[in-house]
Amino acid sequence: MKAQILKSFGSPDSFELCEVPKPVPHTGQVLVRVHATSINPLDYQVRRGDYADLVPLPAITGHDVSGVVEAIGPGVTNFAPGDEVWYTPQIFDGPGSYAEYHVAAENIVAKKPLSLSHLEAASLSLVGGTAWEALTVRAALRVGESILIHGGAGGVGHVAIQLAKAIGAKVFTTVREANAEFVKRMGADVIIDYEKEDYVDAIMRETAGRGVDVVFDTLGGNTLSRSPDALAQMGRVVSIVDISQPQNLVQAWGKNASYHFVFTRQNRGKLDELSSLVVQGQLRPHVGAVYALADIGLAHARLESRNNGVQGKIAIAVAPIEGATP
């Protein structure tokens, strides 16, 4: 099979499209013909060597799969050849999804919602699982509450907006002006142009000084530090980004705030919850750009650059399928 192999850590040119042996499913595993994958910041962080200790080279990386079961290993009961499936491969534990075939333990694999294309499903598994865990499990966001979602036009952000609206919350989000219309379509109630206005000032104005119940931090650093300023008393902060600096939590203490940190975990249950929302018409990932597997470096370079014009996700067509315009 063809696979993009990362032979050394570095620039987006570090991948090489190679012919490698097709994997074989063992007990409890399924072999999936990968139709699509997508790009996440984790992908370029891995490629740069940010997690060099956890990724032995050469490596097949990539963290989303949508495809079709080709074969099953002994003991597999939930899937049969021909099933359309989607999942996030185990992170830092075995080969990733930049390949024509992938093997996974059946307990992290789910049936793909039929109304999503492979490109769409591959654009939802990792970001959707992360946003689901952050909002429903950690923040326990409830109907009638308010939430600030940073980076609303990004991969995680545009899905988080839809999840928060499905829960029944009021959504505030930060974007640059060019993405205002997009996040409005995703369901955002209050759109803050982070280039023109300080988001804490905007939140305090829009909430008459109360603050929001939940801050969903997709940016880290100073944004995480300032979260208590935008938070209501007893508010919750959920961050999905590494803490890159020492944090002064005095204001968080004053707000009786609780903090949660999410590193996404794989399981079928989360994917099935997302599927239900897709079927109910409350959730749909937005594919902002599509590249071919052969052009993985170009896709990395695009996502890695700021103000890259991508709304939602960059998907990768692995099999020659619908919508591929490399």
Q: Which two tokens stand for residue 95?
A: 């080969």
In the complex with ligand NAP, the residue whose CB is nearer, 17 or 190, is 190
Stretch in the footprint of ligand NAP (CB under 6 A) among 66-74, 75-83, 155-163, 274-282? 155-163
With binding defined as CB under 6 A, does residue 65 bind ligand NAP?
Answer: no
Nearest to 107 by CA among 30, 25, 24, 37: 30
Are the C-beta atoms of 127 and 149 separated by less than 8 Å? no
Stretch in the footprint of ligand NAP (CB under 6 A) among 15-23, 38-46, 100-108, 315-323? 38-46
Residue 258 main-chain phi, psi, to 5 deg: -115, 145
**SS3 state at 148:** strand
Binding positions for ligand NAP, 66-95, rule CB under 6 A: none
* Chain center to CA of 267: 14
In the complex with ligand NAP, the residue whose CB is nearer, 110 or 153, is 153
With binding defined as CB under 6 A, does residue 216 bind ligand NAP?
Answer: no
With binding defined as CB under 6 A, does residue 155 bind ligand NAP?
Answer: yes
Stretch in the footprint of ligand NAP (CB under 6 A) among 75-83, 152-160, 162-170, 289-297? 152-160
Residue showing the smallest CB distance to ligand NAP in the complex: 154
Nearest to 214 by CA among 274, 257, 174: 257
Are the C-beta atoms of 83 and 69 separated by less than 8 Å? yes
| Side-chain half-sphere CA neighbours of 285 within 13 A | 31
| Side-chain half-sphere CA neighbours of 47 within 13 A | 28
Q: How far apart are CA 116 and CA 113, in angstroms?
A: 6
Stretch in the footprint of ligand NAP (CB under 6 A) among 28-36, 93-101, 139-147, 149-157? 149-157
Length of the chain: 326
With binding defined as CB under 6 A, does residue 306 bind ligand NAP?
Answer: yes
With binding defined as CB under 6 A, does residue 266 bind ligand NAP?
Answer: no
In the complex with ligand NAP, the residue whose CB is nearer, 155 or 211, is 155
In the complex with ligand NAP, the residue whose CB is nearer, 78 or 136, is 136
Number of residues that bind ligand NAP (CB under 6 A): 25
Q: How far apart are CA 280 and CA 180, in angstroms?
A: 25
Stretch in the footprint of ligand NAP (CB under 6 A) among 6-14, 141-149, 151-159, 180-188? 151-159
DSSP summary character for residue 99: B
Binding positions for ligand NAP, 172-211, rule CB under 6 A: 174, 176, 194
DSSP summary character for residue 81: T
Binding site for ligand NAP (CB under 6 A): 40-42, 127, 130, 150-151, 153-157, 174, 176, 194, 218-219, 240-241, 262-264, 303, 306-307
